Structure 1
């Protein structure tokens, strides 16, 4: 006897229905079956599309390069959510945070107010969020530095912003192509061409 085919209701994914007023930052830890890297923006769940090789390489580049340059009492963490407020828990691609906010290996978020630098690597589906929505929220949380990394015709371009204390908004402080040299939030001299350079295999043995 053949098995009964599943009904459309059974086979279709069951998306969580938001409560009145939207989801909260705490809900992100308890909702079942969420896709990896789900964010909370204005009380709504944002599901991340599959990422490109450029995105993966750029995130790895800034994670490892900045970890080698950051002061000893800071740590660089990739793809980790931060609490902006009750209804906003975005996930920057890379953050720099002081070591004291890292409590244990089971924690799932950092307070946004403790973040020194947030970096977003732009994907086609995240363009508006990374250029408009997230910078406003990061500035409101008083994150002093924000970098936006874009893929322009196969080459990385980094837009650097610093929080203006008197206005509470980000001020652009530089646009970098092949080489990125900055003094804040700590000195860094980065070869951006390494993000898209062809990886060479080590020579094989005899």
Structure 2
């Protein structure tokens, strides 16, 4: 009898264990499916975020490349536009000397022909400079501007304080760039003091 009881007991335990396995397989299978679905959705979200991030990086790189191209083009155009600045600076000294020669010649009839010839050459040089966008910087009677004028001194004058009273050397600019600032004497105002 003990054998039969033992066999029944074993059969009962086996059936209980088998039922427990079947129940756990059903729950585990659903759990595994839910877990797989959640993992797949998380992975899809992560991949979407990575793709969005990559798209943003590509757009930023394209914008940087376009800005670089524009900057290089602008720098190249500036180099072409201002390539003659060293030559122009030297030519301005020649222009200054021509104008000084005309001023120092005076009104003597003996040098009138020479002075006229120098004036023609000076005018031709001024016209050539103007043709290449090189122009004088206005100074006399203008408000002193350190971007265009270099103050070499101050003096009392009839001009209001801060105005250019005298130009020692004419300044020039090429396009929008100052090649040489005007050397000026700035007014300190009227020398008379009211008391």
Please classify the TM superposition score into its range, dividing by the shorter chain length: under 0.3
Higher Cα Rg: structure 1 or 2? 2
Instruction: Tell me which protein shows more strand as a share of its residues.
Output: 1
- Normalising by structure 2, we get a TM-score of 0.21
Considering fraction of residues, name the structure with more helix.
2
